[in-house]
């Protein structure tokens, strides 16, 4: 839309009948409202518009600033629907200041553009932002990048934001919010505003796109996940998550680590072998497993969790709790767990997403149909294209999680190897991890970039392929499946045998680094 509805009229002092006539004229052109110069009190708006708002912070507790800003935005009539990834970036323009974290959100609001600006400025002030120097340090910075299909021009507001196109730390999260497919007329208009023949995608590619996102710790910009009072860059290397089942009935090691002493011994062993994370499960999710109550699960979990988090050896390691109960998740985090691993992606406890939104820890959303007792029935095993259907079903769960307040930068995805899958489905997944990401990317680039966890360890399909009915004898086939998964883009592998799988992971990471080096040298 070439004409700006915000700047067509400077209507201060205009007679009431002219204002009414102008409004009717604009409505006839398809505009839902018109806006005057910024100091006018007239701003007519009633329908919801989709907006994009960028966030940045480099003063104080940056993650807390983001969390509070999102909460205050929701309280101000800005309903957040999607989150970008989280980036730590070098400062721009004024370089002698702390590093920033940056992201962006899509939202819908009935606030007019200047009302929205006022709401965001109030949030900045409430979170401690003062005048300061232009482009200088600030606890929070909130910028309107897009407002519906409209361009806005006034003395205090320009939309699209005039510096989008030159700022990689704005363009990266902006692109995260879009899918590779244009899903609405509004998104189409955002692409058109770029002035590039291939829209925002072409502009981002011209800037350098993924090549701008470097390795952790280097100058520049990289994706991070907030965890355990730090920032995790999962792209540096593949992480190994050691499995600790404190259950009597898990398929591989049920009953081995029921006592606190045996559990602590196993954790000590896995950490000595190089585990980055320990995943503690107190409820079996093997096929046909019957469900125990949250209270019984907590009774098994908490003594072990308390002992594990107090171990000197776990300093610098991440402790995960494998549960689909929100009550267990909440209690586990209060006792020191760093992330929650939910095999049901919120399907088995309707409160899980709401609870996780307040817990401020990463959340693993795994694909499964039904529950452990029903997941292998004939109905749940029906797939056409398994990777495409996993992508669609898993994304729908993550979308709901976002709507209920879990930012994309705290979400990990797991395609659910062995859960409501036949042997051939599991093999398709191991071959098709890039396809799963690509399919998710059509809807949200942010979620397609999320850390991907896979858990093939000692699963039944490996026994079927290799004629190994004893789960404990499936470690070699686990190593093979882990190798395939890491080379296909998995970022975290969940395994029983840490030592041997870590060796496999190190070789895979070396191969991938070498491949990346060759690709860079060609360009």
Catalytic residues: 459, 494
DSSP, res 471: G
- Looking at the DSSP bridge assignments, the partners of residue 277 are 241, 318
Radius of gyration of the chain from its Cα atoms, rounded to whole angstroms: 25
Task: Report the residue count for the chain.
Answer: 523
The tokens describing 39, both together, are 């100091």
Burial class (CB in 10 A: 0-12, 13-18, 19+), 425: buried
> Which whole-number Å values give the CA distances from 232 to 316, 505, 522, in the listed order?
11, 18, 30
* Three-class SS state of 319: strand
DSSP 20-76: HHHHHHHHHTT-S--B--TT-S-B---S-EEEEEEEEE-SSSHHHHHHHHHHHHHHT
> Minimal CA–CA distance to 241: which of 281, 277, 201?
277
Token couple for 202? 């072409």
* Residue 229: CB atoms within 10 Å: 8
Contacts with 41 (C-beta within 8 Å, 6 or more apart), sequence order = none
What does the block give as tokens for 399?
């979308």
Q: How far apart are CA 316 and CA 295, in angstroms?
A: 30
Element of type H or E holding 515: helix 498-522
Query: Closest by alpha carbon to 459, among 171, 184, 252, 181?
Result: 252
The Cα 100–Cα 362 span in angstroms is 20
Closest CA to 480 of 425, 436, 430: 430
Q: Could you tell me the CA-to-CA distances from 10 to 56, 113, 136, 216, 265 in Å, in that order?
A: 33, 16, 33, 50, 75
Residue 109: count of CB within 10 angstroms of its CB? 23
Residue 243, strand partner residues: 279
Rounded CA separation 157/118 (Å): 11
Could you give the CA distance from residue 407 to residue 191 in angstroms, rounded to a whole number? 24
């Amino acid at each position: 839309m070439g004409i700006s509805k915000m700047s067509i009229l400077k209507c201060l002092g205009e007679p009431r009948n002219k204002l009414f006539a102008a409004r009717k004229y604009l409505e006839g052109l398809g505009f839902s409202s018109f806006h005057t110069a910024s100091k006018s009190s007239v701003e007519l708006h009633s329908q919801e518009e989709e907006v994009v708002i960028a966030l940045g912070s480099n003063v104080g507790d940056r993650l807390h600033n983001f969390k509070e800003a999102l909460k205050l935005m929701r309280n101000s009539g800005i309903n957040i629907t999607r989150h970008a990834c989280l980036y730590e970036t070098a400062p721009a323009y004024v370089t002698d200041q702390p590093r920033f974290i940056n992201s962006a959100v899509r939202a819908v609001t009935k606030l007019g553009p200047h009302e929205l600006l006022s709401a965001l400025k109030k949030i900045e002030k409430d979170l401690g932002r003062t005048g300061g120097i232009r482009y200088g340090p600030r606890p929070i910075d909130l910028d309107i990048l897009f407002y519906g299909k409209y361009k806005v021009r006034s003395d205090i507001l320009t939309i699209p934001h005039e510096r989008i196109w030159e700022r990689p730390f704005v363009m990266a999260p902006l692109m995260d919010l879009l899918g590779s497919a244009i899903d609405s007329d509004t998104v189409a208009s955002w692409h058109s505003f770029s002035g590039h023949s291939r829209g925002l995608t072409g502009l981002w590619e011209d800037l350098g796109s993924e090549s701008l996102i470097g390795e952790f710790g280097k100058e520049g910009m990289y994706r991070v996940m907030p965890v355990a009072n730090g920032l995790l860059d999962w792209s540096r290397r593949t992480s190994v998550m050691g499995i600790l089942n404190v259950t009597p009935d898990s398929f591989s090691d049920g009953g081995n680590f029921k006592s606190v002493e045996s559990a602590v011994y196993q954790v000590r062993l896995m950490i000595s072998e190089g585990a980055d994370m320990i995943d503690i499960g107190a409820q079996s999710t093997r096929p046909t497993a019957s469900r125990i109550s949250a209270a019984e699960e907590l009774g098994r979990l908490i003594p072990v969790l308390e002992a594990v988090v107090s171990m000197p050896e776990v300093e610098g390691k991440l402790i995960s709790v494998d549960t689909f109960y929100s009550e267990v998740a909440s209690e586990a985090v209060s006792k020191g767990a760093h992330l929650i691993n939910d095999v049901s992606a919120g399907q088995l406890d309707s409160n899980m997403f709401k609870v996780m939104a307040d817990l401020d820890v990463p959340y693993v959303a795994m694909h499964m149909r039904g529950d452990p007792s029903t997941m292998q029935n004939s109905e749940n095993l029906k797939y056409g294209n398994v990777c495409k259907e996993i992508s669609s079903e898993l994304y729908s769960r993550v979308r709901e999680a976002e709507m209920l307040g879990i930012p994309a930068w705290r979400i990990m995805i797991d395609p659910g190897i062995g859960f409501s899958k036949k042997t051939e489905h599991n093999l398709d997944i191991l071959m098709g991890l890039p396809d799963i990401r690509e399919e998710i990317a059509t809807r949200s680039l942010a979620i397609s970039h999320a850390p991907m966890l896979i858990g093939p360890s000692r699963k039944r399909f490996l026994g079927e392929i290799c004629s190994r009915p004893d789960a404990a004898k499936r470690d070699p086939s686990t190593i093979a499946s882990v190798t395939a998964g890491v080379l296909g883009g998995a970022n975290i592998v969940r395994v029983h045998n840490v030592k041997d799988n870590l060796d496999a992971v190190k070789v895979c990471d070396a191969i991938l680094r070498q491949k990346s080096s060759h690709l860079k040298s060609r360009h």
